[in-house]
Amino acid sequence: MTRPPPTLDRFLLECEPDAAPATRELSQLLLRLGVAGKRIARELAVADIRHTRGSAGTENVQGEEQKKLDVRANDILVETFDYGGLVSFVASEEMEKPHVYREGAGGARYTLLFDPMDGSSNIDVDGTLGTIFSIRPRRDGTEADLLRPGTEQVAAGYVLFGPAVLFVYTSGHGTHVFSLDPAIGEFVLVRRNLEMPKKGRGYAVNEGRRAGWAEADRAFVEHLKEPDPSSGRPYSTRYSGSMVGDVHRILIEGGIYLYPADGSSGKPSGKIRLLYESHPLAFVVEQAGGRASTGRDRVLDLAPRRLHERIPFAIGSADEVDLYEGFVRGAPS
Ligand code: P6P
């Protein structure tokens, strides 16, 4: 009898290299993120039926409009860890300050950060969305635990809400992809130790914002568009409004996602948040053989000064990120 592919539960218990008690707790934490992902997927599936699309009438710490489902996804994630003492506190794009749990705050091994609903502009049009998460070791249980390099992440990943609901994660031993089988309500392993293409044919960037970019960013994107079959150009534009969806495409097909600093629309340091967007996606992509950079620095080496710090962000195949860095570093600083 051929054995079915392992569920997330089985994979974590059997395949996480050192199934020590600490890892068992990490496995439990990842499993709970899977449950939260299934609950968020269900909220998205019935959003029109329940009339839960649309604005919540509030703004996040960056002054961005919050959708009802942004807030709902955040609530689901916060309540998912309010028992069992696994996590001492959580930080989120949707909360100005971390949420500290009373139970277990002292003994918890981990802290958790997330962007509960990445790609919010897609919420009202049933587009691709994602939940991004980053797991870090708890130190003294204060916000300072978080203001550290991305290399200190214990695990990271995302839930992709597309035609299929996918759970993608790494704990530093490869990047693994699980797909939700609705018939059994479990995430099932579909790709183990994913290796992404070293070079792609697509690029994801919002060219409507090019007026605010630096010259090097404009020159790089124009270079990708120039016809030159010997170097696989022109590249195709693939920009969905959801970074998780765009990065997942790049994880499978290769290419590059770019959100440059944009001086003309109030994002002089870029839009993408370092701690709970760039760091986790960089961990996942590097473990699959790709790269993540600001154009000058490796994203995982960066430590934020503030919880919601944003950076210029380029992530994808090694060849394209190397090429992008060449344009940025070659530019007069
Ligand atoms: P723009 C969503 O808020 C997000 O952070 C990414 O998911 C997405 O790629 C980007 O912002 C879209 O931003 O400025 O192109 O609308």
Note the pLDDT tens digit of each residue in 227-248.
999 999 999 999 999 999 999 9
**Ligand 1 atom closest to Cα of 240?**
9
In short, whether 119's Cβ falls inside 6 Å of ligand 1 is yes
In short, whether 267's Cβ falls inside 6 Å of ligand 1 is no
Q: Kindly list the domain boundaries of the chain, sorted by start residue.
A: 8-191, 202-328
CB burial string 42-65: b at 16+ within 10 A, e below: ebbeebeeeebeeebeeebeeeee
DSSP 221-243: HHHHHS-BGGGTBSPEE---S-H
In short, whether 118's Cβ falls inside 6 Å of ligand 1 is yes
Mean pLDDT of 40-46: 98
* Torsion angle (degrees, nearest 10) of CA 66, 122, 310, 100: 50
Four-way CATH pick for 202-328: 3.40.640.10, 3.40.190.80, 3.40.30.10, 3.40.50.2000: 3.40.190.80
The CATH architecture of the domain made up of 8-191 is 2-Layer Sandwich (3.30)
- Distance between Cα 206 and ligand 1 center (Å): 8
**Ligand 1 atom closest to Cα of 242?**
7
- pLDDT tens-digit profile of 314-324? 999 999 999 99
Cβ–Cβ under 8 Å, residues 296 and 270 = no
Tokens for 300?
């995982």
Mean pLDDT of 305-326: 98
In short, whether 206's Cβ falls inside 6 Å of ligand 1 is yes
* For residue 104, pLDDT beyond 80: no
Confidence of residue 1 (pLDDT cuts 50, 70, 90): confident
The 8 Å CB, 24+ separation contacts for 135-139 are 135/26, 135/29, 135/30, 135/110, 135/111, 136/110, 136/111, 136/112, 137/109, 137/110, 137/111, 138/87, 138/88, 138/108, 138/109, 138/110, 138/111
The residues with which 177 forms a beta bridge, in sequence order, are 168, 191
Averaged confidence pLDDT in the chain? 94
